[in-house]
Amino acid sequence: MIIVGLTGGLGVGKSTVTSFFKELGAYIIDWDELAREVIRPHLKAWKEIVEYFGKGILNDDLTVNRQKLGDIVFSDKEKLARLNQIVHPEVFREDERITGEIKNLDPDALIVKDVPLLFEVARLLSVDKIVVVSVSEQTQLRRLEEKGMSREDAQNRIKSQLPLAEKSKGADFVINNDGLPEEARRQVEEIYALLKKGKQHRNEGVRGRLARKTSRR
């Protein structure tokens, strides 16, 4: 089994990149999706969020209004840290559960884990390789503004994360996603082939770090 940690930043197009990996046969785990799952009404993380941030961040159906919560935490590092302390332990547990299922189903799986804060908060997460999806800051801002985010809000959210240049330094592979989707797909295909080749070598005796986590979408 090979575990790949895929990360980047806001507006870099990680979802597009993970979809290409999935088409090639990889299993994918989306930590944003897991984060949404673990804060469903009345679950442990939901209760702690409501206790700390108040009922004003809830929708009428009691689900967490992620936009309201985001507006609060991305302008306050202390509150962002507290939110991460609440949510991430639950995400880790769900991640481990799914990993066990995948391991039993397919011991030779290639797993790509989409973890937005891989460098910032997931140091306990063991992976074999790290892939960073990168774009220019201009591209980040443009894409976020196209989604309806104000420039100030976009800049605050980008600044709340480790710079892409720093993440790229710690990567085994960097995918430049400033261009057309076809260009990103070509890079994904090249990386996927190298990972599969590396898996064959490791099965012949080359040892690598083992990791654990994800689900096929």
Is the pLDDT at 5 greater than 80, yes or no?
yes
- The Cα–Cα gap between 197 and 99 comes to 22
Give pLDDT tens digits for 145-169.
998 888 988 888 888 888 999 999 9
Question: Reduced to 3 states, what is the DSSP secondary structure of residue 161?
Answer: coil
Q: pLDDT digit string (tens) for 14-72?
A: 999 999 999 999 999 999 999 999 999 999 999 999 999 999 999 999 999 998 999 89
**Domains of the chain: residue spans and CATH:** 2-203 (3.40.50.300)
Helix (H, G, I), strand (E, B) or coil at 106: coil
Q: Are 30 and 37 a contacting pair, CB within 8 Å?
A: no
Q: Could you tell me which residues are beta bridge partners of residue 5? A: 113, 130
Total Cβ atoms within 10 A of residue 162: 14
Query: Which class for 172: exposed (0-12), middle (13-18), buried (19 or more C-beta within 10 A)?
Result: middle
Say yes or no to pLDDT of 209 above 50.
no
Banded pLDDT at 122 (limits 50, 70, 90): low
Look up the pTM and report it: 0.81
